[in-house]
A and B are shown apart, each in its own frame.
Chain A
Amino acid sequence: SQTIHQWPATLVQPVGSPLSLECTVEGTSNPNLYWYRQAAGRGLQLLFYSVGIGQISSEVPQNLSASRPQDRQFILSSKKLLLSDSGFYLCAQGLAGGSITGELFFGEGSRLTVL
């Protein structure tokens, strides 16, 4: 089974400060990993996805970056936070190659508030 850990669960940061959100997964090796953002009243926006160590694809230009230093670790970062970076960040795991069913498994999320 897939287990996804996200840390920290909640975070309050001032504008201009750095950010690091961590996601670690258990279960299958070489998973596809995803970072989504959920802003208040809006759906899920795909930010980054990774099909392997060091391989990051960005969906939209933004103030954030992602890294995958290990097979089961996915990190979301920012050097200087903006107010618009506030939201609920979800890490998700898919099986390598998308799998037959294509479903994603989600972590419990990290809520970021930028003041």
Chain B
Amino acid sequence: AQSVTQLGSHVSVSEGALVLLRCNYSSSVPPYLFWYVQYPNQGLQLLLKYTTGATLVKGINGFEAEFKKSETSFHLTKPSAHMSDAAEYFCAVSDQGGDMRFGAGTRLTVKP
């Protein structure tokens, strides 16, 4: 069975600062990895995904993530935070058959 652990339930950064949200996964098969964003009282929106190929994945809104098999990690980064990035972010892993498991989420706060 697969699972993900998100390190840090809350992350606070200043506007313009680097955003780093951490995710480690566990999977018995080559994983598909995802980052989703959730704004208040809304559903989840896909930011980016890794399936196969290039390990550095670029997503929407300037976010990117790097799949590191040796570290079983899939951390999400953005060089410069915007106020509009304040939201909850979820890392997820899939076993390629549609069984997706989510981390507990990281709430990102952006300070002016």
Contact = CB atoms under 8 A, between A and B. Distances in A.
A100 B51 contact: yes
A102 B32 contact: yes
Given A43-B105, A44-B90, A102 B43 contact: no
B63 to A, nearest CB: 15
Interface residues of A, number: 29
Given A43-B102, A44-B102, A102 B42 contact: no
Nearest to A34: B100
Interface string A80-115: 000000001010101101111111111111010000
Given A43-B90, A43-B103, A103 B43 contact: no
A66 B46 CA distance: 25
Interface string B28-47: 00001010100001111110
A102 B51 contact: yes
Contacts of A111: 41
A19 interface: no
A4 to B, nearest CB: 8
A54 B78 CA distance: 43
A106 B44 contact: yes
B73 interface: no
B90 A104 contact: no
A32 B98 contact: yes
Contact of B43 (A32, A42, A109): A109
A46 interface: yes
A41 B59 CA distance: 26
B104 to A, nearest CB: 4
Contacts of A44: 44, 90, 102, 105
Contact of B94 (A43, A102, A109): A102
Given A108-B42, A109-B42, A102 B96 contact: yes
The 3 A-B pairs with the shortest beta carbon distances in the complex, nearest first, are: A98-B98, A106-B43, A43-B104
